[in-house]
Structure 1
Amino acid sequence: MNKNPQTMLLWMTFVMSLVFSVWQVLLNNFVIERAAFTGAEIGMLQSLREVPGFLAFSAIFILILLREQSFALLSLAVLCVGVAITGFYPDVLGLYLTTVLMSVGFHYFETINQSLTLQWVTKNETASFLGKALAWRSAAALFGYASIWLVMSWCKLDYVWMYALIGCLGLLMVITITVYFPRFGIGEAQHKKVILRKQYWLYYLLVFFSGARRQIFMVFAGFMMVEKFGYSITEITSLFLINYVVNLFFASAIGRFIGRIGERNALTIEYIGLIIIFISYALVEKPEAAAALYVIDHLLFAMAIAIKTYFQKIADRKDIAATMSVSFTINHIAAVVIPALLGLLWLHSPEAVFYIGAGFAICSLLLASNIPTTPAQGNEVNWSMSSKNRDKISVK
């Protein structure tokens, strides 16, 4: 196995996806069967899960003490520990606490992983590499779902064993990666302060609405499958399995496709598709149709690679780590609030939740039309809110 930065990124992505996908696919059944959650509790849990993402800007201060590579591995280890202990606390408070611990590791890792990817991979290869990384995520998830079938369906073991086994396996893999790979250089020194640049305003808004939409998909689309259509843990796992098989075969091709058609066209396709899908979620009455929508929805999210490649093309390389930290916070501004508020709305009108998701997708579609055909530094948008003032705002 090559000891290069790209290979290490792929293996770290594999571990993250393996552990997080098992946590995610078991969650709705676990909280309903063991803790009697309703839409209100699941909404609150998901809001708490997003708090560490909202605080992701603090990663830039931790980088004063830790190298990005070390920080990524430490965060991955925290994620594994949080998942490993989840099954031991099948009550409301315990689930809230273990979810926050898991989420701290997950969001810090994702922040640093994105930063390292944009620094270690060249611009002309980024879309293709991110597609390849999605395929690795899918392969890891498939391995995780196979382990669920082995442990829970074949061996008939409880949730506590599944969570513990996958968390410990992930932790062992993190230790192996730490020992096997050398320390890699970063290139240009990164800013160690929070930075907001006015020329990145379109990127910030795209990230904000992406976070808002994704919460509706992650929290309520899966919850609908269990609550409305009565999907069992085996059926939910099968649905996730289909999602990742589709991604495994098509994610790399999607990355190359984005590289050919450009960011604006790729995001336009995604957002039009999501508008149709969210409206369909509100109207669907057959479980088979809901499952088909779920698979298509998951596939369309792969097009969000284009947001990252758009930023890489317009960014000063010294801004990448700081901006990734800020963008994760922006992504989670809505994510902290939306699950709790829409969880309450869900009790009265599940359809309205999905209509709101369609509204977010419409906003994103309008923003995507402002991406230039060839984005670059100095050519960030088609029309600017402030063409004269391009100063940066920094918080030391």
Structure 2
Amino acid sequence: MIPNAQRPMLHFLLILTVASTVGLQGWSILFNNFAVEVVGLDGAEVGLIQSIREIPGFLALLVVFVLLLVREHRLAAFSILCLGLGVALTGFFPTLGGLILTTLIMSFGFHYFETTNNSLTLQYFTTTTAPLVYGRLRSIAALASIGTAGLIWILGGLLDFRWMYLLLGALVMILACWALCLKPSRPDLPLQNQRMVLRRRYFLYYFLTFMSGARRQIFIAFSLFLLVKVFDYSVRDMTILFIINNLINFLFNPLIGRAIVHFGERRILSVEYCGIICVFLTYAFTTSPLLAGAMYIVDFVLFNFAVAVNTYFQKVADPADIAPSMAVGFTINHIAAVVLPVVGGALWMLDYRIPFIFGAVLGAMNLIAVQFIKTEKIEGAGT
């Protein structure tokens, strides 16, 4: 049960989460077809744009300095406005340069919102309610993903790419403007440090955040490619998987939040990493398309367990360190976004099993690391 004092921020974050999901999912669903059919890009140019899309994730630490100029909840809403603007403009610049520009605008909005979203969740909700809020936000995001896909399916028969991007972007911007009119902040919370924070006692959080980014890249870059390249999944097959995944996320994310509260971060993350080891090894050695698809669904569910890394940090951090640490953590999380796809792609060319075996090794390292999680509050601000 969320206390009444926390509900304004919950409603604020729910609105922006829906807007963020509509913008990112809409952009992603249309991107490949738009890039090939309208802009005429080849594989190398599409890969370039996907790499450029990750640059704002590296620059998330700049949020600390932006917060010197604007309050954090305002920055969250402005970030969604930026995301919507990037999506809305995409169809009007059908060139490589234009697509790079609109992608950067969209991506800065998305990544800065994700940074402030995590920060506000950990600041405004207690250690017993934050996991529940994460579960609710991810549940509504899954439902919004399904709704966005359905909307694009309907619009696809009526509008061209330019107007679909414009309509989706305009919807996102309307929700952002609505959020800008809200006043969800509270004056009784600790002031956040307005400088970059790096502390030795947060090392475990930094390590788990980096490893979570590495795991995410293997999931994004190679799991879907495995299903299509090795097991010959069709577009229809992938669409069914997309719907199943998001329905499961809608139903189970609130349960994941409750499980974190009940069992604690160490046990939940241990389950995640044990599951990752099994999933990645199955990817590597199965010859069954159905089993590989089932593992993708399990992989998708386990991906949501990673919120326990943030709730662990909430329990051990100084309250004033949350905003700058979320910005630094988001940058650390994205280091793997540049390295792993390139290295993993080279390893794939030797044997497609190697990236997944490597992922299982990363899972084992994480499993060992999370055994050092202590969730009692650490007092003092030592460095």
Q: Structure 2-normalised TM-score?
A: 0.89
Aligned to 1:182: 183
Q: Cα distance, 1:33 vs. partner? A: 5.9
The size of the alignment, in residue pairs, is: 376
Name the SS of the counterpart of 1:371 in structure 2. Answer: coil
Q: Cα distance, 1:166 vs. partner? A: 1.6
Equivalent positions of 1:179-328 (< 5 A) are 179=181, 181-182=182-183, 184-185=185-186, 187-229=189-231, 231-328=233-330
Aligned to 2:57: 53
Q: Cα distance, 1:357 vs. partner? A: 2.0
Name the SS of the counterpart of 2:193 in structure 1. Answer: coil
Name the SS of the counterpart of 1:307 in structure 2. Answer: helix
Aligned to 1:384: none
Mapped pair 1:135 → 2:139:
yes
Aligned to 1:108: 112
Aligned to 2:78: 74
Name the SS of the counterpart of 2:198 in structure 1. Answer: strand
The 3 A distance-change label for structure 1 pair 23 and 206 is same
Name the SS of the counterpart of 1:123 in structure 2. Answer: coil
1:220-256: CA deviation from partner (whole Å, max 9, x where unpaired)? 2234444445545554333222111001111101110
Counterparts of 2:125 and 2:171 in 1: how far apart (Å)? 28
Aligned to 2:68: 64
Q: CA RMSD in A?
A: 2.5
Counterparts of 1:125 and 1:294 in 2: how far apart (Å)? 29
Tell me the amino acid that sits aligned with residue 50 of structure 1: E
Counterparts of 1:304 and 1:366 in 2: how far apart (Å)? 15
1:277-297: CA deviation from partner (whole Å, max 9, x where unpaired)? 122223344443332222111
Alignment counterpart, residue 120 of structure 1, candidates 124, 146, 150: 124
Contact 1:43–1:342 under 8 Å retained in 2 = no
Mapped pair 1:377 → 2:378:
yes
Q: Which runs of at least 4 in structure 1 moved beyond 6 Å after TM superposition?
A: none
Q: Percent identity?
A: 41
Aligned to 1:382: none
Contact 2:205–2:313 under 8 Å retained in 1 = yes
Q: Cα distance, 1:339 vs. partner? A: 2.3
1:85-121: CA deviation from partner (whole Å, max 9, x where unpaired)? 3345566554444332221111111111111111111
Mapped pair 1:10 → 2:14:
yes
Aligned to 1:85: 89
Task: After superposing the two structures, state which structure 1 stretch, 159-168 or 48-57, moved more.
Answer: 159-168
The 3 A distance-change label for structure 1 pair 309 and 184 is same
1:137-193: CA deviation from partner (whole Å, max 9, x where unpaired)? 1111111111122122xx2644444333222211111112222x1252351111110
Q: Cα distance, 1:349 vs. partner? A: 3.7
Tell me the amino acid that sits aligned with residue 207 of structure 1: T
Contact 1:54–1:336 under 8 Å retained in 2 = no
The 3 A distance-change label for structure 1 pair 338 and 120 is same
The 3 A distance-change label for structure 1 pair 86 and 321 is same
Counterparts of 1:218 and 1:124 in 2: how far apart (Å)? 31
Name the SS of the counterpart of 2:54 in structure 1. Answer: helix
Counterparts of 1:158 and 1:232 in 2: how far apart (Å)? 24
Tell me the amino acid that sits aligned with residue 60 of structure 1: V
Name the SS of the counterpart of 1:4 in structure 2. Answer: helix
The 3 A distance-change label for structure 1 pair 274 and 325 is same
Name the SS of the counterpart of 2:190 in structure 1. Answer: coil
